[in-house]
Structure 1
Amino acid sequence: MLRLAMTTDAETFERVRGPLAERGIEVGHVRAKERSLRVSGGDDESADVASADIPGEFDGFDVGLVYPTRLMEGAVVDERLGVPWVNGRDAVVTSRNKAGVLARLDAAGLPTPRTTLVSNPVDESVVVDAVEGFSYPVVVKPNSATRGVGVATATDPDSLLGVVDYLNLIHDYRATGDKSFLIQEFLPDARDYRAMVVDGECAGAVRRELDADALAAGRWKHNVHRGATARGVDLDPEARDLAERAAEALGIDYLGVDLLETDDRLVVNETNARPTVDAATKYEDDFYDRFAALIRRTAERE
């Protein structure tokens, strides 16, 4: 039985345990954050007690599923586990950089929303110049945030500078690593899809939708963590191909690709190298077979 270490115990962990066990892969949880971790002093008999390690918790694993989201803790967990990862550190860092992803996809000839990166701190004049050529409203989003955190629309120059003032307060904190944000064209009424690409092939997709009350209240962000509902859909060949080409351009084996579709455009909006696995009914029948095959092949790298 192959042993897989996962550093999340949220929805994905619970959903994948059974299907992967049926395919000979035992899934275990390794807690990577909000705890203490032994870094050195392993010969000291009291070290594990002092660091609150559980004896043997890092032992016996063959492969890991997605490098921990907190890179500092991840470096310690990675060393303690000593296993190859499905989506290692490089994949997570690549996907987290929204601007870097869009720049690479654009260079590869893939359609993306028009986007400008602003690196704080800058004068207001830089922001005003950066938005030239865009039509209001525009989307403003932190470059490295997830789950739609900090994403807002601006309807005119005053509201744009107001959003930037808010970001300035956050970026003023010295320990904030990424001080950049994006200004992006807003695609009204776009259909929002999350395509799951496993080992180079699209393995299914969901459409994320807001209910009527949310739409009537003026909400527009389709993040499931903010209340949107995800339902399984069959993507047309163009959308499947675009998702697969995005994963290939980034060189990431296991990737959530966010697509926005209007009546006349289909673009890659973001990617996620730590995608949540939804209910199996929302994916293709062989999803877990392909997922398990990728995990096994990764384990064989060492």
Structure 2
Amino acid sequence: MLRLAMTTDAETFERVRGPLADRGVEVGHVRAKERALRVSSGEAGGETAGTAAVDPDEFDGFDVGLVYPTRLMEGAVVDERLGVPWVNGRDAVVTSRNKAGVLARLSAAGLPTPKTTLVSNPVDESVVVDAVADFSYPVVVKPNSATRGVGVATATDLDSLLGVVDYLNLIHDYRATGDKSFLIQEFLPDARDYRAMVVDGEYAGAVERELDDDALAAGRWKHNVHRGATARGVELDPPARGLAERAAGALGIDYLGVDLLATDDRLVVNETNARPTVDAATKYEDAFYDRLAALIRRTANQE
């Protein structure tokens, strides 16, 4: 039985344990954040002498990890303690987290993306005015590295845009804030929001994220499941499947959630996620777990 380390114990962990165990992959949780992690034993002799004093047994016996920890500082310690290859390593996590970098790479590869401009704070107000000059309102404003829809807003005119930017400037004043950039992006009204899963270069299923009528009537528009939207399994058409696969190929990430926005006349890649939440198996292709288990096994054997 192959042992897989996962650094999340949320929905995905519980959903994948059974199906992967049926395919010869035992899933274990390794806690990577909101805890104390001893870095060294303080004794001479290097790693061997220190290993017994560093969380004994917790990191032992794993063959492979699924996704590198999202907190990179803690991740470096966990990675060293585990000493295993990752399906999605540090480079994949860093690449996907950078929304602007993803869109720039995909656009350069000829893939359709929303019209987007990156603004790197701090800048004068005039820079923001110039950056939005060739956009039509409303526009979307989003922090470059945030997840789950955190900090994402719409601006209906220049005054409201500058108000959102003032808020971001305030947040960015904190020294602990790393990425101080944000995106100004075209707003696609009434776009359908899909999360396609790509496993080892192949489309493996998708969900459509939807708001209920009450949320829509209240003026909400963000389709993040963590913000109350529901995810319904759907069959994407061949162009959408192909776009998701091309996005994963352009980024070189083996296990990827690709967020697609579709209107009556456009289909674009909006974002990607190298730490995708896995939904119920009924919402994916029949071979989803077969492909995932094969990718995990191949990654372990590359060590």
TM-score bin, normalised by smaller chain: over 0.9
* Distance change in 2, residues 1:82/1:46 (3 Å): closer
Q: Quote how far apart the aligned CAs of 1:50 are.
A: 12
Contact between 2:41 and 2:53, CA under 8 Å: does it hold in 1? Answer: no
Whole-angstrom CA distance in 2 between matches of 1:22 and 1:218: 44
Residue 48 of structure 1 and its aligned partner are, at CA, apart by: 9.1
1:51 shift after superposition: 8.4
Provide closer, same or farther for how the CA distance between residues 197 and 120 of structure 1 changes in structure 2, counting only shifts above 3 A.
same
Assess, with a 3 A threshold, how the Cα gap between structure 1 residues 170 and 284 changes in structure 2: closer, same or farther.
same
Q: Normalized against structure 2, the TM-score is what? A: 0.96
Pair 42,24 (structure 1): closer, same or farther in 2 beyond 3 Å: farther
Distance 2:202 2:48 in 1: 48
Report the CA distance between 1:38 and its aligned residue. Answer: 1.3
Cα deviation code 1:48-72 (max 9, x no counterpart): 999883x201001000010000000
Provide the rounded CA distance (Å) in 2 between the counterparts of 1:84 and 1:285: 27
Judged with a 3 Å threshold, the aligned counterparts in structure 2 of structure 1 residues 50 and 122 are, in CA distance, closer, same or farther, namely farther
Shift of 1:46: 15
User: Could you give the per-residue CA deviations for residues 2-42 of structure 1, whole angstroms, max 9, x where no partner exists?
Assistant: 00000000000000000000001100000000001111117
Deviation readout 1:110-159 (Å, 9 max, x if unpaired) = 00000000000001100000001100000000000000000000000000
Contact 2:41 2:54 in 1 (8 A): no
- 1:174-203 CA-partner distances (Å, limit 9, x unpaired): 121100000000000000000000000000
Identity across aligned pairs (percent)? 91
Q: Give the conservation status (yes or no) of the 8 Å contact 1:97–1:143.
A: yes
1:114 match: 115
The 3-state SS of whatever aligns with 1:86 is: strand
Q: Secondary structure at the match of 1:83?
A: coil
Q: Which residue of 2 aligns with 1:250?
A: 251
Q: Distance in 2 between matches of 1:203 and 1:83?
A: 25
Moved over 2 A (4+): 45-53
CA–CA distance in 2 between the matches of 1:82 and 1:15?
A: 25
SS at the partner of 1:202? strand
- Distance change >3 Å, CA 52–CA 84, structure 1 → 2: closer
Give the Cα separation in 1 of the matches to 2:302 and 2:108: 30
Q: Secondary structure at the match of 1:127?
A: helix
Q: Secondary structure of the equivalent of 1:46?
A: helix
Match of 1:50 in 2: 52
Go from structure 1 to structure 2 and tell me whether the alpha carbon gap of 1:291 and 1:50 turns closer, same or farther (over 3 Å shift): closer
Question: CA 1:204–1:253 in 2, change beyond 3 Å: closer, same or farther?
Answer: same
- d(CA) in 2 for partners of 1:299 and 1:47? 26
Q: How does 1:69-108 map to 2 (within 5 A)?
A: 69-108=70-109
3-state SS of 1:33 partner: coil
Asked whether the 8 Å contact 2:87–2:299 carries over to 1, the reply is: yes
Name the counterpart of 1:25: 25
- Identify the residue that residue 11 of structure 1 maps to in structure 2: 11
List gaps (5 residues or longer) in structure 2: none
- Whether the aligned pair in 2 keeps the contact of 1:37 and 1:51 (CA below 8 Å) is no
CA RMSD of aligned residues (A): 1.9
Which consecutive residues of structure 1, in runs of 5 or more, have no partner in the other structure? none
Q: How has the CA–CA distance of structure 1 residues 50 and 2 changed in structure 2, closer, same or farther, with 3 Å as cutoff?
A: closer
Question: What TM-score, normalized by structure 1, do the two folds share?
Answer: 0.97
